[in-house]
Amino acid sequence: MTEMTMTCRLALCICCIVAMETGCSNKPAATPVPSSGAQPAVSYFKVDATTSGSITGTVRYAGKKPARKLIDMSEDPACVEAHHGKAFDESLIVSANGALANAFIYVKTGLEGKNFEAPATPVTIDQSGCWFRPRIMGIQTNQVLQVTNSDPVTHNIHPMAEINREWNHSQGPGDAPLSRKFVKREVMIRVKCNIHSWMHAYIGVLDHPYFAVSKEDGNFAIKNLPPGTYTLAVWQENLGMQEQEVTVSPRNDTMSNFTFKGR
């Protein structure tokens, strides 16, 4: 047998083997399944405005009106100038008739199982007159917090969160606003300025929009609540916290007043 004949037979055998292996499998080639990065849509609770109610009330201070403490800002002449030489502590502001300002009021329980969409409008905290303005504020989870500096000096905003991520950022005069978010519920987050030791604020982070801050006259209002029974809480940075059970009826305004006793 010639060398050429042997080569041809060998090639023929290889072709037969390949044909047999291919013919033994009747399974079609697997088609790759495209992966989808889309997340399931979140269902947000929508309040029926035709049946919603509200909670209004007043926060008061019982006892002798405390004297306000003078704050020493002498380490920064620009801060002294902003207050014409005198600045007073704002941790406890009581009017002549006992109205308590800057108390944080919020629905603590009663909204379980309801998801509320974060507002598109940011909440702003400004550094003005070497104070944080406002001192007491509320924000929803995933709502944008915008930080501005209206002063001619450098400030530093340092929210000392325990549940959310703690962060710390300096902001000079004329710097662009900072934008941050808190993704978890946390009441309250203490805020300080590492440059000016007297600067403090508090942020209440909630997963719903039902909160308020008492005004100088002590009044507050929480509107557009779905009917139900709630635990309403009030927090004040020097006086602690109180709670009340409140039932909101359709299309009605429910009164809920709080009184803190002087220490």
pLDDT in tens, 213-252: 999 999 999 999 999 999 999 999 999 999 999 999 999 9
- CATH 2.60.40.420 maps onto the chain at 117-207
User: Which CATH code for domain 117-207?
Assistant: 2.60.40.420
Give the chain as a 3 state SS string. Answer: CCHHHHHHHHHHHHHHHHHHHHHHCCCCCCCCCCCCCCCCCCCCCCCCCCCCEEEEEEEEEECCCCCCCECCCCCCHHHHHHCCCCCECCCCCECCCCEECCCEEEEEECCCCCCCCCCCCCEEEEEECCEEECCEEEEECCCCEEEEECCCCCEEEEECCCCCCCCCEEECCCCCCEEECCCCCEEEEEEECCCCCCCEEEEEEECCCCEEECCCCCEEEEEEECCEEEEEEEEECCCEEEEEEEEECCCCEEECCEEEECC
For tokens 């009340």, the residue is: 244
Higher pLDDT, 93 or 39: 93
Question: Under CATH, what is the fold of the domain 45-114+215-263?
Answer: Immunoglobulin-like (2.60.40)
What is the pTM assigned to this prediction?
0.83
In the chain, the percentage of residues whose pLDDT exceeds 90 is: 78
- Residue ranges of the chain assigned to CATH 2.60.40.1120: 45-114+215-263
Q: Is 98 left (phi over 0), alpha (psi -120 to 50) or beta?
A: left
- 94-118 pLDDT, tens digit per residue, is 999 999 999 999 999 999 999 999 9
pLDDT in tens, 131-154: 999 999 999 999 999 999 999 999
pLDDT at position 232, please?
A: 98
- Position 85 confidence tier, pLDDT thresholds 50, 70, 90: confident
Per-residue pLDDT of 1-10, as tens digits, reads: 444 444 445 4
